[in-house]
Amino acid sequence: MTREMAIDIDGDGGERFATITDEAVELLRRAIGVPITDTVEPWCYEATRDNIRHYAHGIGDDNPLWCDPEYARTGPYGTLVAPPSFVFALSRILSGYVGGLPGVHAMWAGADLHWHQAIRRGTELTVKAHLKDLVEHQTRFAGRAFQQIYHVELSSTAGELLCEGDSWCFRTERDTARERGTKYDEAKERPRASYTEEELREIYSHYDSEEIRGSVPRYFEDVRVGDELPTLVKGPMTVTGFIAFAQGWGGLYIRANKLAYKQIRKHPGLGIPNSLGIPDVPERVHWEEDLARAVGTPGAYDYGPERFSWLTHQLTNWMGDDGFLVRSSTQIRHHNIAGDWIRIQGTVTDCDADAPGGATVTIAQTAYNQNGDVSARGTGVVRLPRSPR
C-alpha cells in the first residue's frame, strides 16, 4: 500500500488525501470472487451472554429475549438469542472492513441479509466472504465513487448456515467530497441541533411508550396490508452513543498502543495524522468533528451498521418472540450527525400466507431526521406464527 496524504486537517484547502486511481481500481477488480482468507479477526467468535447483551445495549435495545436469561428460558428458544444484527459483531467484512484503494475513504452504505436460524447463546461461528462486485457511480457527495460489495456467509461450527447476504461500502475521495461535493450544502448551512427541556421531553416520551411485543404472539391472521408499525425513535445522537455501539460491535480499526502501531504498520494508508501528528485511523470520523468535516460530511456521524440495527430493532419489537426476521435490506441515505434524532416508520406492504417456511409479512421502513431528511430506507420480511383459532 502507498502512504496516504493526510496533512493539515484544519487547513484551508488543497489536496490532503489519497485519490482513486485506475491502477488501484483494476487491482481491486482482480479480487472479485476470490475467497478472503487473510482478514482481521472478528469482534466476537461466539454468542456469549455478555457479547449478546453488550451488543443489544449498544443499539439501545433492552428486549429481554436478548438480555434476561430467566425470561429467555421460557421463550421459544429456551435460551438467550442474539438480535439479528449481532451478525455485524461476527464479521468485520460484513461491517465494512474493505480492502484495496489504499487511503480512500470508505462509508458503509447498506446490506441485504437473509437469516436462516436464530443465533442462540453459546453458538460458535465461522465466516466465509468474498468481494462480489465493484460498481462505479457518479454521486453528489463526492463525484466519482465506487460501491464495493461483499458477500458473507455465517455458519455455526456445526455447519448450520445462520445468515448470508451482501453488504457494501462507497469509496470516496475525501478532498473531492469536502471541496466539490454538493449533497450536504444545505445541511452544512443549518445551525446544529440543540434542544429545550420541552423538546427533549417530547423525544423521550417515545422511549417511555416504546412497545416490545415480547411473549404475546403476533399472529399472521391479525395483520393487514397498510398496518403501521409503532414509530421507533433514536437519539438525540451523541458521540457517547456512537461509542456505545462501537463497544458492542467492536468497530473496524479501534486499537490501542502496540496493536494500533501494528495495524498501521501493516496498512500504512490507514493512518491519518491527528492534530498532535500521531497517525490514527479514519474511524475517528465518528467522534472527531474536524476529521468528519475534512472528509466532506457536516460533522461526526453515526455508524452505518448501527443504522441497519435500528431498523431491525423496530421489526423485532413488533414481531414478538415467536416471530422470526427472515430478511432485512437497508440503504443508508443521509449521515446522522451528533445532535440529530430520527423517527423510524414502518408499513405492512404484503402478506404471504404461502411463503416457503411459513407465512410472512413484508414491511417498508423509512427513517427521517428532525429536518425531514431521509436517513435510511429498508425492507423487512418477518415470519409470523399462524393463529390457533
The pLDDT-based confidence of 3 (bands split at 50, 70, 90) is: very low
Q: Is 2 within the bounds of a domain?
A: no
pLDDT for res 1: 30
Q: Indicate the pLDDT class of residue 4, thresholds 50, 70 and 90.
A: very low
Read off the pLDDT band of 25 (50, 70, 90): very high
Residue 14 lies in a domain: no
Cα–Cα distance between 137 and 143 in angstroms, integer? 8
Cell for 347?
408499513
**CA 213, CA 65: separation in Å to the nearest integer?**
11
**CATH no. for residue 122?**
3.10.129.10
The pLDDT of residue 10 is above 70 = no
Q: Look over the chain and give the mean of its residue pLDDT values, rounded to a whole number.
A: 94
Burial of 308 (0-12, 13-18, 19+ CB in 10 A): buried
How many domains are there within the chain? 1
Residue 297 lies in a domain: yes
CB 345 within 8 A of CB 229: yes
Q: pTM (2 decimals)?
A: 0.95
- pLDDT tens-digit map of 100-146: 999 999 999 999 999 999 999 999 999 999 999 999 999 999 999 99
Tell me the per-residue pLDDT of 288-331, one tens digit each, with 9 for 90 and over: 999 999 999 999 999 999 999 999 999 999 999 999 999 999 99
| Separation of alpha carbons 138 and 356, rounded Å | 39
Q: Is the pLDDT of residue 11 over 80?
A: no
Give the tens place of pLDDT for each residue, 230-242. 999 999 999 999 9
Q: How far apart are CA 257 and CA 259, in angstroms?
A: 6
What pLDDT score does 14 carry? 55
Q: Is residue 7 part of a domain?
A: no
Q: What are phi and psi of 46, to 5 degrees?
A: -145, 160
Residue 157 lies in a domain: yes
Q: Which residues of 252-282 are buried (b: 16+ CB within 10 A; e: fewer)?
A: bbbbeeeebeebbeebebbbbebeeeebbbb
User: What DSSP assignment string belongs to 233-264?
Assistant: EE-S--HHHHHHHHHHH--SS---HHHHHHHH
- What's the pLDDT at 15? 63
The reported pLDDT for the residue numbered 347 is 98
- Domain range holding 49? 22-383
